[in-house]
Amino acid sequence: MPDQQTRLRPAAPGPRSTRHRAAALLTAAAPALAAYAAVRAVGLLALAVWAPAAGKDALHLLGGRWDSVWYQGIAVHGYGRTVTLPDGGLHPDLAFFPLLPALERGIAAVTPFTVQGAGIAVAWLAGLVAAWGIFAVGARLRGRRTGVVLAALWGAYPTAFVQSMAYTETLFTALAAWSLYAVLKDRWITAAALCVLAGLTRPSAAALIAALAVTAAAVLVREWRAGARRDLLRRNARMLLGVCLAPLGWLAYVVFVAVREGGAFAYFEVQAQWGNSIDGGRALAAFIAGLPLPAALGLCAALGLLGWLVFLCVRQRQPLPVLVYGIAVVVVSLIGSGYFGSRPRLMMPAFPLLLPPAVALAGLRTSARAGAVVAALALASAVYGAWTLLGPGPP
């Protein structure tokens, strides 16, 4: 007969209990996933109607242009392609991180999908996983209703049409959202593992790495000041291990480029060839200064709105990892010298910026009012997305 200690010890979670927990989490997130899918369906419907009228193929617009072509080229041929521009500049494919091409290649190898179709499939599935993670973060911080609205608002972001393209934004946001959720649950190793994958997806993983590092530093400082200095490092061993593991994905790709190109700073040189150097915002200021006065004022107003959202996030007292991540994504997106038109897209993974309006909408007296606002935003996003995709320039 087992002793009392054995009988009182909780049973280890088995596959069945794990499945039940996963099913419960999915059931709780179902309204958010449905809202997100509905918002994105409006965008896809607008494109499906508008593209044929303009004599273009909607699927080609989603998966066969701009960065998508580079990712698919890496998936098929590996790294090694360099395009020479008319002015003599070079665009090497080493500027693109490897996780999406690897997934495209793997899916195309085991399914009937082409590499292009695999890229679109990854983006759409990752969009749902991202919406789930965004809901999870919002629900943990402000309740389920806020989580649902937050996921829907992310789907109605002005450049949310990119979420339906064979780009990396949805994949990165999914990894970042779930990594932040893991930190909020004090699951540092899980958060670090997701951060490693994010670091193989986009250079903006630096924002997520910073969020984990700053949060860990704050925990150590707080405990030190509180007098809990004995065994401080041992007590936080898993957190410190997570912080050390988090940058390994990003670092691994930087080292890969350095070894391949034979220079310690080769990755940064590759980014500079694409015009993506860090200049502290000088390129942004020069771009605004070169615009006609009405356009410059409009852009300044948009940047003011962005600053107001950041202020609201601070005033809202968002948890440190969420706050640092959102602000860091914005900063990284604004201080580079890259193509200005891509900056709204680069800021799209900063979903914490949408938490203040999500809280406001969730607090409306009736769900119908919140739904009407989200529906209007979804329609505006759909029209803007179709118009942009039918244009000549990249998002």
Does a structural domain hold residue 19? no
The answer to whether residue 11 is domain-embedded is no
Lowest mean pLDDT segment, chosen from 34-38, 128-132, 243-247, 387-391: 387-391
- Cα separation, 146 vs 42, in Å, equals 21
pTM value?
0.93
Report the pLDDT value the prediction gives residue 248, as an integer from 0 to 100. Answer: 98
The whole-number pLDDT of residue 388 equals: 93
7 found inside a domain: no
Query: What pLDDT, on a 0 to 100 scale, did the predictor assign at position 341?
Result: 79
Count of domains forming the chain: 1
Residue 61 located in a structural domain: yes
> Is residue 18 included in any domain, yes or no?
no
Per-residue pLDDT tens for 336-362? 887 777 889 999 999 999 999 999 999
For residue range 233-253, list pLDDT tens digits in order.
899 999 999 999 999 999 999
Q: What is the DSSP letter of 247?
A: T
Is there a domain that residue 287 lies in?
Answer: yes
Parallel, antiparallel or unpaired: strands 82-84 and 90-92: antiparallel
The neighbour count for residue 338, using CB atoms within 10 Å, is: 18
Mean pLDDT score of the chain, rounded to an integer?
92
Residue 200 lies in a domain: yes
SS3 content of the chain, % helix, strand, coil (to 5): 75, 0, 25
Question: Tokens 């009392």 appear where?
Answer: 4
What pLDDT is stored for residue 49 in this prediction? 96
User: Side chain identity at 256, as an amino acid letter?
Assistant: F
Q: Report CA-CA distances (Å) from 193 to 189, 207, 217, 241.
A: 6, 15, 19, 11
* pLDDT for 15: 60
Q: For residue 72, is it left (φ>0), alpha (ψ between -120 and 50) or beta?
A: alpha
Task: Kindly report, residue by residue over 117-135, the tens digit of the pLDDT.
Answer: 999 999 999 999 999 999 9
Is the predicted pLDDT of residue 93 greater than 80, yes or no? yes
Q: Which domain holds residue 123?
A: 32-389
Residue 198 pLDDT greater than 60, yes or no? yes
